Structure 1
Amino acid sequence: MRVETERLYLYPISNDEMRSLIENEADAEMKQAYTEMLEGCLLEPDSRIWYAVWNMELKNVPGTIVGDFCFKGLGKDGIVEIGYGLREEFRHQGYMVETVKVITEWALSMEGVCAVEAETDLKNVASQNVLRRAGFVKNGVIGEEGPRFVYRGKE
């Protein structure tokens, strides 16, 4: 499984790669999040695309990972939430907006998905700007981390 943007290949990493990610993660909160993602992959192997970490690899420099993202499972209500991160040296080059636009379109093309949401830290203006530039709008809800944004597709 691979999705392409203009400049990137997007693909889910394997369960073994996720285990390695967990082992090497220093941040306790991220380690817990990765562990929960791996558990989702193991419990729902037919739906692992909705739980796995996806790499963002440069097309013109194979093996160069600029960041990653995930879908936080597919809810029974047809809403999927995304989370993402970009390596420092690749910020402010449009990679994340490019990725969010494409993965949102891709997710909405999948059976059972009617909306894509994201939640950002209240102080993370850069992430909020990524979502706005990708067509998301605030839905008026404040989640645990901060404002929630939504992109509605098919109803």
Structure 2
Amino acid sequence: MRVETERLYLYPISNDEMRSLIEKQADAEMKQAYTEMLEGCLLEPDSRIWYAVWNMELKNVPGTIVGDFCFKGLGKDGVVEIGYGLREEFRHQGYMVETVKVITEWALSMEGVCAVEAETDLKNVASQNVLRRAGFVKNGVIGEEGPRFVYRGKENER
């Protein structure tokens, strides 16, 4: 499975790669999040794309990973939540907006998905700007981390 943007290949990493990521992770909160994602992959192998960590690899420099993202499972209501991160040296080059736009449209093209959501830290203005540039709008809910954004496809463009 691979999704392409103009400049990137996007693909889920293997369970073994996820285990390695967990072992190397110093941040306890991220280690827990990755562990929960791996558990989702193992418990629901037919739906692992909704739980796996996905790499963002440069097309013109094979093997160069600029960041990663994940879907946080597929909810029974047809809503998927995304989370993402970019290596510092690749920030401010449009990679994350490019990725969020493409993965959002890709997710909405999948059976059973009706909306994509994301939650950002209240102080993470850069992440909020990524979501706005990708067509997301605030849904009026403040989650555990901060404001929640939603994208429902053409509905957002009204």
Which interval holds the TM-score relative to the shorter structure? Answer: over 0.9
Q: Take 1:52 and 1:86, find their aligned partners in 2: how far apart are those partners?
A: 17
**1:43-87 superposed Cα distances (whole Å, 9 cap, x missing partner):** 000000000000000000000000000000000000000000000
The alignment yields a C-alpha RMSD, in angstroms, of 1.3
Give 1:153 shift: 3.1
Runs (4+) of structure 1 exceeding 3 A deviation are: none
Deviations 1:115-143 (A, max 9, x none): 00000000000000000000000000000
- Counterpart CA distance in 2 for 1:30 and 1:50 is 17
CA distance in 1, matches of 2:53, 2:145: 20
Q: Distance in 1 between matches of 2:2 and 2:124?
A: 29
What is the match of residue 96 of structure 1? 96
Task: Give the whole-Å Cα distance in 1 for the aligned partners of 2:152 and 2:101.
Answer: 12
Q: Deviations over 1:17-61 (max 9, x none)?
A: 000000000000000000000000000000000000000000000
Residues 84-137 of structure 1 deviation map (CA, whole Å, 9 limit, x = unaligned): 000000000000000000000000000000000000000000000000000000
Gaps of 5+ in 1: none
SS in 1 for 2:145: coil
TM-score by length of 2: 0.97
Identity %: 97
Is the aligned partner of 1:39 residue 2:34? Answer: no
**Aligned with 2:49: secondary structure?**
helix
| In 2: Cα distance, 1:117 partner to 1:136 partner | 8
Structure 2 gap segments, 5+ residues each: none
- Distance in 1 (CA, whole Å) between partners of 2:78 and 2:130 is 23
Q: Separation in 1 of the partners of 2:91 and 2:7?
A: 14
